[in-house]
Amino acid sequence: MKKLASIFTLIIAATTLATAQFGPGGPGGMGGGQRGGDGNGRPKATPAAPTLNLDGDAPKGNSKVFGFVVDESVSTAVEFANVALYTKDTKKVVDGTIADEKGKFSMNRVAAGEYNLVITFIGFTDKTIEVKVEKGKDNDLGVIKLAQSVKQLDEVTVTAEKSMIEEKVDRLVYNAEKDLTSRGGDAADILRKVPMLSVDLDGNVSLRGTSNIRVLINNKPSTIVASSIADALKMIPADLIKSVEVITSPSAKYDAEGSGGIINIILKKSTLQGLTLNVDSGVGIRGSNLSLNGNYRQGKLGVTLGGFGRAFYNKSLVTLDQTTLRNGVSTLTNQSADASDNGLFGRYNLGFDYDLAKNQSLTASVAFGTRGFSRTQDFTINQFTNNVLNSTSYRNVDSRDASNSVDLNLDYIRTFKPSQEFSISGQYSQNKLTNNFFTDLLGNAQELVSRQKNLNQNFNKEITLQTDFQTPIKQNQMFEVGLKTVRRQVDSDFEYLVANPTGSFSSDARNPAGLLNYSQNIAAGYVSYTVTTSNKYTVKVGTRYEYTTIDANDQNNDIVIPAYGNLVPSINISKPFGKSSTLKLAYNNRIQRPGLQQLNPNLNISNPQSISVGNPTLRPEISNNVELALSTNINKTYLNVSVFGRQTNNSITRISMPSDSVVGAIITTFENIGKEQTFGTNIFGNFFLTPKWTLNGGVDLFYNYLEGQQTGLDGLSAKISNDGIVVSGRLQSSISLKKGWAVQASGGFRGNRVQLQGSQGGMGMYSIGARKEFANKKGSIGLAAENFFGMKMRSTLTTPMFNQVMVNNLYNQNVKLTFSYKIGKMKFTESKKSKVKNDDVMGGGDNN
């Protein structure tokens, strides 16, 4: 309840403290000793304290008073606590500030003397500390603990509870650590509940109707995400996710890639000094997980060591009915496949941070990821020629996907004065992938007739160097500039082998072996300027230029892809008005480069009737985005309403066509063949029904228009289009009971999604869970159930040359038991974050 109230008071008192501390026009958060950023150097609005009647005649000095504010019951930061400094004799206020999101506060121009420091925050008992300041000397007050108030919460106190969903200046935040029902699941389970996001059954993510997004982990990229967003989400247990940030209008500091926006997954990380160990585990009928995370922080050195693993199991039944028309011959295919999925995922990390000096820090980390996924499918295929049964065949397919990834980060940060800092960062990331399948072809009597296999090895490597500098100008402006270079290398080596029922395998003459070597180099620079005016307008303008060169070749030829440059402007304007409302307007231009799955020329025929292949000649798509949003707090209700529009040219689009070589089959690939327009609205809110009962939910509604080219019956390319309205929604309710008990229920749905040649079916998810905390909130045990009745999803494709209907019946009912415990004696300290953010590559998956 503490954090939400302070965010609401931001709108009421956004410039009060700034005016008191800096004079007219001074914005809070750009001075007063605070970094004025979100941990990555990005300036952001900071909640301001209630009105302080400062003594205008109070002398100013050169001493500094600073410290951390924590909740004494759980040793976590009291974010945005109000801090005021009173003279001990006259009781007049001479300075004031607020704590940042880490609980840190600082006042820099304090004169010598004796003072009382008073810290207040809704839901806590006021704290007064005597402070003696000597001329020229800093006062480190260390960790200051606030006790929670035991008084009955009134209407204002109710809104102080940290909400499941928060709206910040430049992003929406979903506080996943409050989600009880997703514990024991993975990141995809969390993202399904985040406003504006949609996640299909395979884990492919879309934002406001587009899958052309970038996913970061702790503000950092990873080659596992570049290879496949869906696979990356399976490698992150829900228990380790602190929050999910949705950034729909990134500033110039972010990479230009990601036409739909950026999703930043923040993992839980200890900022406590001492030795700690967190244990999280879960056991369910569809999956189990275990994670251990240890932290040691003493003085200038901090060390983190962690590891987690997750295993899951699932079953499904997929039916396919498709008709193709080639040379006047109609072929109808009825196919069914019983499938079983098994997966084992893990990720392990080691990190160090060290304070080289008072104003310099060095951070290093290494993370290892592993993934093993297998799917067995038993196919039954009936084919009819001109409505007469022509053949029946059977095949058993064993697909195996595996990867091993490494991410290395090194960051150096130097702070010259409050809000003025320089950083230089480097990252090396690689991912080795194996995507193989093995097929047994069976006769009518289920006897083995022949065998085939596809072996596909991929290697994805990234090297990044970047440097950033930011400095305040006066007290109400911020200037940022930076340079960055990224070198990517993607290699794919594949071959097809066939064999009789016995004997060795040999090359398949119909599908010869191949390779792809794809090298991409990006040089970028940006400049950004932020100003807060005296009438409370905050304007952030910037531009970024990126120049991209590509060298590519296959086993026979060089693939010619011209170099290209992109100038990417952005502007964000916000204005608080009334007592508790904020209006925001944003525009940005974005690009989207193709990802590995879209480039890979390996022909995937694990399903012989639905074949997929990448296209290494893809070019980037370019989008223009505009957004208008209003957020307001009415009594116990927080409401946000936004309208948006997006125009995408040279759109990377899925296109399907009948196969020339496999009777009745359809081949799907990606092409730069069209444009896409999206216009819609998002509405979401938090509601406090009682002091202990909260309800949050939202609705996403948008109109989608797609335009492209496809081949007609005459063999000529013709313009086609498709449009429709897509509706999605979610609802979640939590009740806090006595003695540490809590109950939560949630549900969500996504309507049919528009595709150029048809539609992808809608889906729904639902769950209910309970949790009991014990040992002074150090431990908890929970029980949850989800999707009690399974799920069905129907997708269609329709063209003059074929019709396809696919129905996926997923038996994903689950019941899980979760356990969590924290060990260690701790005190609060500030953490460091990596500066590298490669938010610029399409992750593949199911894109329009």
Cα–chain center distance at 2: 25
Please report where in the chains the tokens 């503000």 appear, as a residue.
219
Give pLDDT, residue 738: 87
Cα atoms found within 13 Å of the Cα of residue 707, Cβ hemisphere only: 10
Pinpoint the alpha helices (H) of 545-675: 596-599
Give pLDDT, residue 510: 76
- pLDDT tens profile 62-71: 888 988 888 7
Q: Which two tokens stand for residue 62?
A: 């050169």
Residue 302: name the closest of 364, 255, 234, 222 by CA. Answer: 364
Give pLDDT, residue 491: 92
Side chain identity, residue 471? T
Please report where in the chains the tokens 């240890």 appear, as a residue.
294
* Contacts (Cβ under 8 Å, ≥6 apart) of 541: 528, 529, 569, 570, 571, 572
Give pLDDT, residue 253: 84
Contacts of 504-513 with CB under 8 Å at 24 or more apart are: 505/451, 505/453, 508/452, 510/661, 511/603, 511/605, 513/555
Give pLDDT, residue 123: 65
Give pLDDT, residue 518: 92
Cα–chain center distance at 629: 21
Give pLDDT, residue 53: 52
Cβ–Cβ under 8 Å, residues 24 and 535: no
DSSP per residue, 775-821: TTTTEEEEEEEE-TT-EEEEEEEE-SSEEEEEEEEEE--EEEEEEEE
Give pLDDT, residue 6: 41
Q: Are strands 758-760 and 763-774 parallel, antiparallel or unpaired?
A: unpaired
φ, ψ for residue 742, nearest 5 deg: -150, 145
Across 386-419, where does the E strand assignment appear?
388-417
Give pLDDT, residue 543: 95
As to burial, measured by CB atoms within 10 angstroms (0-12 exposed, 13-18 middle, 19+ buried), residue 89 is exposed
Q: Which two tokens stand for residue 227?
A: 């290879």
Burial 364-373 (b: 16+ CB within 10 A, else e): bbebebbbbb
Using DSSP's 3-state secondary structure scheme, residue 812 falls into coil
- pLDDT mean for each 10 residues of the chain (848 residues): 38 32 32 34 36 58 86 69 85 81 82 90 81 87 77 34 63 78 73 79 75 77 66 73 85 79 78 72 87 81 86 89 85 93 90 87 91 93 89 92 93 87 94 93 89 92 94 89 95 92 86 87 95 89 95 87 92 86 90 85 85 90 92 82 93 87 86 89 86 86 90 74 92 87 89 88 87 83 87 85 88 86 59 51 44
Q: Give CA torsion, residues 715, 717, 719, 722, to 10 deg.
A: 60
Give pLDDT, residue 333: 92
Give pLDDT, residue 195: 80
Cβ–Cβ under 8 Å, residues 66 and 138: yes
Give pLDDT, residue 442: 92
Residue 137: count other Cβ atoms within 10 Å of its Cβ.
11
Cβ–Cβ under 8 Å, residues 727 and 672: no
φ, ψ for residue 386, nearest 5 deg: 50, 45
